[in-house]
Amino acid sequence: MRRFLALIVVAFAALPAVLGADAVPARFNVVATKPASASIIIGTVTMTISPFIRRENVYSSTYVARVFPFFYSEKGRISIVIPDDNLRRVSRGEPADFNGRAINDSGDVRRIEGSAIPTGPTTGRLRVKVFITRRIALTYITTYELQGAETPQAVAKAR
């Protein structure tokens, strides 16, 4: 009987490690980014993105890009694919790559590539390339902050 109890105690002690080993922490469910600018020959393009909401391996949000000194702006939806393995790397403090796409309100699709470089447990730097054409890309360097579990306010902002 003692062996049986000892076996049960060991099994329950190992259970959290087994169940949690593959789980991505809830702190990754909502990610906020700071506005970022990219230089172009005639000015700058400033990108503002609402907080990203994570569903499975995809982060989704909305964006607004404004071109200065012109009064042109573009709005649309953005989605970034980050596999769970890459999020685990970020949680260990290691950089991770991602890709995705943006679709503006006119239906134009923009390819996205980037990398996340953690600087702390809930913060880091982002380097994001938004391809305007097959060869021309705008590079944005900004920061991110993990905002934890999904909240109704974050969901409302992302829509």
Nearest to 132 by CA among 151, 115, 145, 113: 113
| Domain ranges, ordered by start, for the chain | 24-158
DSSP SS3 for 126: strand
CATH number belonging to domain 24-158: 2.40.128
Mean pLDDT of successive 10-residue stretches along the chain, which has 159 residues: 38 38 75 92 92 92 92 93 91 94 95 95 93 92 85 49
At 19 the pLDDT is 36
Q: Can you give the pLDDT at residue 104?
A: 95
Q: Is 12 exposed, middle or buried (0-12, 13-18, 19+ CB in 10 A)?
A: exposed
The H-or-E segment that residue 87 falls in is helix 84-91
Tokens at residue 150, please? 């999904």
Phi, psi (rounded to 5 degrees) for 58: -120, 130
* pTM (2 d.p.): 0.75
